[in-house]
Structure formats: C-alpha cells, structure tokens
Structure 1
Amino acid sequence: MKNLLRTCLLTLVVASTPFLSQAQKRQHAIHVDIGTLVLMSNATLNYETQVAQFLDGAVQFNVRTGVGWAVAWESRYVGPILTGVFLTGVGSHHFEVNLGVSPAYDYESARINRSNDPGTFDFMDHVDWLPIGDVGYRYQKPEGGFIFRAKGGTTGVGVGIGWAFEG
C-alpha cells in the first residue's frame, strides 16, 4: 500500500511538471481548513498553486501542500499533505475535488511506545499513510482574494477560509 501511494505521488508531481512553465501568471492560495468525522477532528494549513488551466479558466488543476493535525480515537497525528486539486466552475463558484496522501506521524502511540520500551523505538513504525479524498464547494473570485471552502470526504465534513493571489 505504501509503494502504491508513493508511486501515485511521484506520478502526480512528474505529470504536472510540464504545465508549470506554461502558466505565466498562476493563481496561488493560502488557506486554513477544519473538519470532523464525529470521532476524528483535523485542522490543516495549506499552500496551493495552479499548474494548469483549460477552457479559459473554467477547469483548473492545482497542487496543494501543507501540514495537518488530526485527533482520532487514541491517536494524535501530525504530518505533511500533498494533494492534486481539480477545480471547475465559472466566475466565483467552483466544484472542487482533492485527492492525495499524508504520511502522518502518530505522536501519541510513539510516546506510549517510548515509555513502555525505550530501546526499540523506530520513527517509521508510527507513520501512517493516510489517504485524502474530498469533494466540495469553493467560493473564489477569478482575480483572487477571499476564499471560502465547504467540503466532505475522508478528512470529514468541514470548512476553510483563505486568500488567493496571482504571482
């Protein structure tokens, strides 16, 4: 499973590379999201950049990276995020799909393991590859500015706010 996720991430990065040089003025965004799935809650801080757009901007492909924190049952996670973002819509209203992964470090299980048997601790034993798959609505003007997101998926039902800009 880990090799499959790594392969997907590598494919995402390599496939988007030719588009990076084609966009002269790309959209960028910084946003904060929170979500919950009743027994799990999470928060993320994200940076997103546009790598391709089609049909005069009605269809966009972005790459998002960031860091997230999650609480699920007795686990406490922190880790980087990498997702591909598909946006479609005209004007300020967009449909959004996010697919990616987070190699999340479970620092609570690591703390318990270190205190029970300090001689056998291995960092990678406490990393879980968590899939990310969300769909939702995004309010974002074509020229940038305020962003509002409402989403649902593997990261729970949640909302986000942020700022988009050209660069």
Structure 2
Amino acid sequence: MKNIILLVFFVFHISLFGRNLINPLNKSKDKNFSNIGLYIDGGTFGIGYSTFFNIEKYLSSSKSEKIHLFFRGSYGDVRFLGSGSGGGSFFKNTQTIGASITMITGRGNHHFDSSTGLFYRDESILPLLDLGYRYQKLNGGIILKGKIGILGLGFGMGFSF
C-alpha cells in the first residue's frame, strides 16, 4: 500500500507541473519535445525477472540538442529465484518502486539510452543501471527500447506525448 501511495504521489506531481517543469539547458523554445512518456518494460537474466510500468518526464536538453534528460518513475515487480522477505513464501513482497534519471543521446529517432537511479524492494534500496537502444521520436510517438542492466536483458514499449 505504501508503494502505491508513493507512486501516485510521484505521478501526481509530475503531471501537475505540466509542460515546462524544468528546462535549464535548452535555450531554444522552438523545439517541441514530448513532455510525458508512458511505457512498460520487462527483463530477465535467467534466475529472475522484472516487469515495470514507467512514466518519464522530459527535463532538459543540451545546447547541441544531442543529449536529453528525463526523470523516470517506475512501479513493478522484481522476482528472483528464492526471493522475498522470508516466511516460507517463494515470491513475497516483490513490488518495487524506482526513480532514475534517463539520458538519451543522438539525433533523429535512434538513440543510446542510459538510466541510473535507485529502486526500493523488500525494505532495501538497490542501484538501478540500464544501458541500451531506444527508438523514439522526440516530439511524441512510439517508444521501443532494448536494454541490458542490473535486472538483465530486457525490452520495453510505450508511447510519448
């Protein structure tokens, strides 16, 4: 229940501040970047798996407009072989929330994607690191991504607007 309340809190504040929450590096206002991205992703590394619902908020871009930063909030499930918080349950307390900064580089629709942050699971705070490829039009549309990271190899898809 606490995780759901935290997720609602983050989503509410991201959507509350609207289009121009933070934009310190991007001096050009003629570009129309998508403000919010929603996508699901999943991954596995053989002895466990993860599934997440993600919301991303555009933060800023570099002056060259080759580097773009997003804040990412995640809610999902991470299960490891024999995971959970004891008590004999095989998959107890696997709900996970995460927060990270996502950087995408490149021009056009093809980007290198890097996310660094933390996730909270089973009363532990753990690091989050994903590296991969992302297909996304920066002004909105379909998001497709492939990744490798702490939670294994994965794939994600969604929409930005």
Question: For the residues of structure 1 that align with 2:128 and 2:76, how far apart are their CA atoms?
Answer: 11
Equivalent position to 1:70, from 78, 87, 109:
78
Is the CA contact (8 Å cut-off) linking 1:102 and 1:129 kept in structure 2?
yes
Structure 1 residue aligned with 2:149: 153
The share of aligned pairs that are identical, in percent, is 27
Amino acid at match of 1:148: L
Q: Does 1:29 align with 2:37?
A: yes
Give the CA deviation at 1:39.
0.3
Q: Matched residues in 2 for 1:37 and 1:53: separation?
A: 33
Correspondence 1:81 to 2:117 = no
Higher normalized helix content (fraction of residues): 1
Q: Distance in 2 between matches of 1:101 and 1:158?
A: 18
Task: With the length of structure 2 as denominator, give the TM-score of the two structures.
Answer: 0.73
Mapped contact 2:33–2:138 kept (Cα < 8 A):
no
User: In 2, distance between residues paired with 1:66 and 1:148?
Assistant: 17
Counterpart-to-counterpart distance in 1, 2:69 and 2:97: 20
Give the structure-1-normalised TM-score: 0.70
Q: Residues 101-112 of structure 1: matches in 2 within 5 Å? A: 101-105=118-122
Q: Report the residue type matching 1:20 in the other structure.
A: I
User: Following TM superposition, where does structure 1 have runs of at least 4 consecutive aligned residues deviating by more than 2 angstroms?
Assistant: 21-27
Q: In the alignment, what sits opposite 2:59?
A: 51
Mind listing any 5+ residue stretches in structure 2 that lack a counterpart? Answer: 1-20, 84-90
Bigger Rg over Cα:
1
Q: Which amino acid aligns with 1:78?
A: Q
**Aligned-pair RMSD on alpha carbons?**
2.0
Gaps of 5+ in 1: 1-18, 106-126
Number of residue pairs aligned between Structure 1 and Structure 2? 127
Residues 31, 162 of structure 1: 8 Å contact kept: yes
